């Protein structure tokens, strides 16, 4: 996962990624360049977890679009 970290010196730091509708995922910052950092997860998300999350995001986007049209 690529993120914009709060502090520059972050290589090797342990982190917990919290994204709405997903379980918290532990990982470690492996690279830092141009104010971006890469996190490698200790345990990757399963395809099912990711598919469910994408489905929820699409459903929410669809609801917002229909609300704006109404």
pTM over cut 0.75:
no
**Contact (CB, 8 A) for 65 and 49:** no
Each residue's pLDDT tens digit in the chain (70 positions)? 888 877 778 899 999 999 888 899 999 999 998 889 999 999 999 999 999 999 988 887 787 777 776 6
Look up residue 37 and give its two tokens. Answer: 């950092």
Q: Report d(CA 17, CA 30) in Å as an integer.
A: 14
């Amino acid at each position: 996962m690529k993120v914009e970290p709060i502090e520059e010196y972050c290589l090797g730091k342990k982190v917990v990624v919290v994204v709405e509708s997903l379980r918290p995922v532990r990982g470690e910052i492996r690279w830092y360049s141009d104010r971006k950092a890469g996190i490698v997860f200790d345990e990757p998300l399963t395809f099912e977890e990711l598919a469910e999350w994408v489905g929820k995001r699409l459903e929410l986007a669809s609801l917002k679009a229909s609300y704006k049209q109404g």
